C-alpha cells in the first residue's frame, strides 16, 4: 500500500497525487517522476494553475 492508501504499483502524479495510467511526459507506466497532463502543462508554462480573475 502507498502512504495514500492505493495498492503498491499504482502510479500517481508526484505533484498533485492524482492516479495515472502513464506518466504524461515519458508515457511510461513505471516512472519515479510521474506527472499528470495538467501539472505538466502548468510546469511547462502552457497553462496556469489558477486562471486570471477575468478568466483569460
| 51 forms part of the interface with other proteins (CB under 8 A) | yes
Residues in contact with other proteins, shown as a per-residue x/- string from 2 to 21 under the rule CB under 8 A:
--------------------
CA torsion 21-27-33-34 (nearest 10°) is -30
54 binds other proteins (CB under 8 A): yes
Nearest distance in Å: CB 51, other proteins: 6
Cross-strand partners of 19: 12
Q: Which set of grid coordinates corresponds to residue 40? A: 505538466
Considering only 12, 18, 25, 38, the residue that binds other proteins (CB under 8 A) is 25
Which is nearest to 26 in space by CA: 14, 17, 3?
Answer: 14
Amino acid at each position: 500500500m502507498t502512504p495514500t492508501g492505493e495498492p503498491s504499483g499504482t502510479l500517481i502524479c508526484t505533484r498533485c497525487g492524482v492516479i495515472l495510467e502513464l506518466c504524461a511526459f515519458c508515457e511510461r507506466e513505471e516512472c519515479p517522476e510521474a506527472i499528470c497532463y495538467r501539472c505538466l502543462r502548468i510546469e511547462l508554462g502552457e497553462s496556469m494553475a489558477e486562471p486570471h480573475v477575468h478568466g483569460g
